[in-house]
Amino acid sequence: MKKSNLIKLSTLLLSASFYLTGCGASSGFGTETGIVSKLSSDEISGLLFMREEEELARDLYIDIYDKKGLNTFKNISEKAETKHAEAIRVLLQRYGIDDPSTGSHNTYNDQDLQGLYNQLFSNAIGSDDLAALRVGAFVEETDIRDINHYKSLVSDEHQDIISTYDNLLCGSRNHLRAFVGQIEGLTGVDYVTQVSELDAEVQEILNTPREKCGRG
């Protein structure tokens, strides 16, 4: 590799490390030498999908807050979802993958995600606060399911991707706890998992305390 290219690669990796560290994610590289290795098609698909799914959560929560004024949505969007979307963007940049983000609020290249945003936003604002909070909990359950799936497809040599997914999972677990706490406060009954395949995992999450997510 030419010296000029090595300098460019080093600069890129240092920049990525800075952003991921700010999100509580690992700054480790694909190999011990810092030379990133080629990703599989499954690994690439996962990063592309999760980039827009994290943007969806950010946009949806901002829009629900604007309509409902529920501070939980604002806090999660500003403090976490924006950083999560950025953490995935940094990985895309590191591995030379084009960013699928449209750059426009609540607009997505993945049409399934576009349809999901439209439906969830309609559900959240068309009823009472409980419906909006249930949408938030559903998004977090869905996020947990999807991150677990794509993490399972990542090679062990790509610890930077695994660590980022772990950080996103930790955030989603905390967000789910926050939404469920408010839901149960309003209903007075135990929360029922919305993504049925995750019932055991969700119940375990709800029976454990809030996590620090990479803050030591």
Q: What pLDDT sits at residue 37?
A: 57
Q: Tokens representing 140?
A: 């977090």
- Answer yes or no: is 7 within a domain: yes
Residue 49 in 3-state DSSP?
Answer: helix
pLDDT at position 87 over 90? yes
pTM value? Answer: 0.82
Rounded to whole angstroms, the Cα distance separating 146 from 127 reads 27
Confidence of residue 215 (pLDDT cuts 50, 70, 90): low
Domain count, the chain: 1
Over residues 175-191, mean pLDDT = 97
DSSP state letter for 37: P
**φ, ψ at 39 (rounded to 5°):** -90, 150
Answer for the pair 124, 61: CB distance below 8 angstroms, yes or no: no
Residue 39 lies in a domain: yes
Segment 162-178 shows an average pLDDT of: 97
Q: In the block, which residue shows the tokens 């990479």? A: 214
- Nearest in space to 35 (alpha carbons), one of 53, 58, 61, 9: 9
| % residues pLDDT > 70 (the chain) | 82
Whether 168 and 144 have beta carbons less than 8 Å apart is answered as no
Question: What residues make up the domain containing 45?
Answer: 3-206
* 146 close to 48: Cβ distance less than 8 angstroms: no
Residue 213 domain-assigned? no
pLDDT at 13: 36
pLDDT band at 10 (very low <50, low <70, confident <90, very high): very low
Neighbours of 204 (CB within 10 A): 11
Give me the CATH number covering residue 145. Answer: 1.20.1260.10
